[in-house]
């Protein structure tokens, strides 16, 4: 082929080959869905992974991007549909650490909430018998969990303070995902938390 002669031709004079139009599948517009409808779709079809979503969805069904837009992440989509995952299953004889995890991870601070959660899923949440046997009462378990929660909060608070070189403000704690409510259950306010922070820094 004489490419030089071909390039000298005007665009209208250049031979061309008519391309076949690319065949596309039929278009099925997806109806808009509310976050509740998206969560219901996952529950009704028992979809808990992105692989199951791709395998089970039809052209008009929601896509992964629909869930990202509605909930921010796929994990939050699953939590909206099925709730937060329960702690790992314990043997027949639960430990005190496991009971504390139930309180902290499932937010079972009240005895009535614990009873309701046990009725809903007895395989994951032990009965109040084990709470009485290991702690004497739900209040004792709550007392321990408040201090466990405070310990984690204080650790994050100290790390942020060291990074800033001073005691963090409430706004800075909130921006860094530090919830001081656990500390306020033990201390009267942020001033007392700051005092403890300074005492710990003086010792280190």
Q: CA-CA distance, 175 to 163, in Å (whole number)? A: 14
Residue 193: its pLDDT value, please? 65
DSSP 3-state of 150: helix
Residue 38: its pLDDT value, please? 93
State yes or no: pLDDT of 90 exceeds 50.
no
Q: Domain ranges in the chain? A: 35-82, 96-136, 141-203
CB 156 within 8 A of CB 178: yes
CB 197 within 8 A of CB 161: yes
Average of pLDDT values for 7-18? Answer: 49
> What average pLDDT does the structure give for the chain?
77
- Eight-class DSSP state of 132: H
User: What are the tens digits of pLDDT across the range 114-163?
Assistant: 999 888 888 788 889 999 999 999 999 988 887 777 767 777 888 888 88
Listing DSSP states for 152-181 in one string gives: HHHHHHHHHHHHHTSPPPHHHHHHTT--TH
Residue, of 180 and 67, whose pLDDT is higher:
67
Residue 37: its pLDDT value, please? 92
Task: Using a pLDDT cut of 90, give the percent of the chain over it.
Answer: 16
Residue 23: its pLDDT value, please? 54
User: What are the tens digits of pLDDT across the range 20-42?
Assistant: 555 555 556 778 889 999 999 99
Cα dist from 30 to 60, 61, 86, 137, whole Å: 5, 6, 33, 53
Average of pLDDT values for 74-86? Answer: 80
CB 118 within 8 A of CB 127: yes
Half-sphere exposure of residue 195, counting CA atoms within 13 Å on the CB side?
A: 6
């Amino acid at each position: 082929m004489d490419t030089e002669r071909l390039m000298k031709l005007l665009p209208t004079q250049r031979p061309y080959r008519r391309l076949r139009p690319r065949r596309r599948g039929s278009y099925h517009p997806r109806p808009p869905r509310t976050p509740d409808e998206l969560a219901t779709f996952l529950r009704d079809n028992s979809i808990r992974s992105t692989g199951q979503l791709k395998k089970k969805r039809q052209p008009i069904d929601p896509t992964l991007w629909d869930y990202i837009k509605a909930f921010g992440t796929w994990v939050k989509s699953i939590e909206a549909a099925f709730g937060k995952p329960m702690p790992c299953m314990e043997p027949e004889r639960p430990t005190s650490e496991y009971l504390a995890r139930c309180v902290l991870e499932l937010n079972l601070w009240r005895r009535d909430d614990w009873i309701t959660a046990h009725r809903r899923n007895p395989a994951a949440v032990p009965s109040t018998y084990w709470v009485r046997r290991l702690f004497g009462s739900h209040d004792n378990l709550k007392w321990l969990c408040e201090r466990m929660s405070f310990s984690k909060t204080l650790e994050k608070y100290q790390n942020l303070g060291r990074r800033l070189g001073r005691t963090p403000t409430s706004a800075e704690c909130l921006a860094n995902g530090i919830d001081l409510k656990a500390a306020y259950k033990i201390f009267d306010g942020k001033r007392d938390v700051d005092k403890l922070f300074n005492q710990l820094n003086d010792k280190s």
